[in-house]
């Protein structure tokens, strides 16, 4: 099955810093999503981005499907950005999401 690898596993930032999170996947995919899991456990949709670039406020994402990777950019980080960021891709059957292990982000003031 498809393998999803995220890096770095952990990231510690000061408030105001920028960061880039990476997601590599082992096969072509029809769907890629980025999520933020907050400290209360909620999974919040950030981007649905099978290819191309999208921006939403301080966050943006780029997926290069032909090279099998996606990047999530966080600019001017805030303490509320803390949590785990997951990348997930649709399996080959197109019926379930396969998650990476996540990047744990800690932003301190």
Partner 1 sequence: AAGVIQSPRHLIKEKRETATLKCYPIPRHDTVYWYQQGPGQDPQFLISFYEKMQSDKGSIPDRFSAQQFSDYHSELNMSSLELGDSALYFCASSLRLAGVDLEQYFGPGTRLTVT
Triad 30, 33, 36: Cα angle to 5°:
170
At which residue do the structure tokens 């032909």 appear? 66
39 binding partner 1? (CB under 8 A): no
Stretch that binds partner 1, among 18-26, 53-61, 66-74, 82-90 (CB under 8 A): 82-90
Cβ count within 10 A of residue 96: 10
28 binding partner 1? (CB under 8 A): no
DSSP-derived 3-state class of residue 81: helix
Task: Count residues near partner 1 (CB under 8 A).
Answer: 23
Among 54, 65, 75, 99, binds partner 1 (CB under 8 A): 99
Residue 45 CB-half CA count within 13 A: 5
Of residues 51 through 80, those in contact with partner 1 by CB under 8 A are none
Stretch that binds partner 1, among 13-21, 65-73, 74-82, 88-96 (CB under 8 A): 88-96
């Amino acid at each position: 099955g498809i393998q999803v690898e995220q890096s770095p596993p952990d990231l510690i930032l000061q408030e105001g810093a920028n960061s880039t999170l990476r997601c590599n996947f082992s096969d072509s995919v029809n769907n890629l999503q980025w999520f933020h899991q907050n400290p209360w456990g909620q999974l919040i949709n950030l981007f649905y981005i099978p290819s191309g670039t999208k921006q939403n406020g301080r966050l943006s994402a780029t997926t290069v499907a032909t090279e099998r990777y996606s990047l999530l950019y966080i600019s001017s980080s805030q303490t509320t950005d803390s949590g785990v960021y997951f990348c997930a891709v649709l399996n080959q059957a197109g019926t379930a999401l396969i998650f990476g292990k996540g990047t744990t982000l800690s932003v301190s003031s």
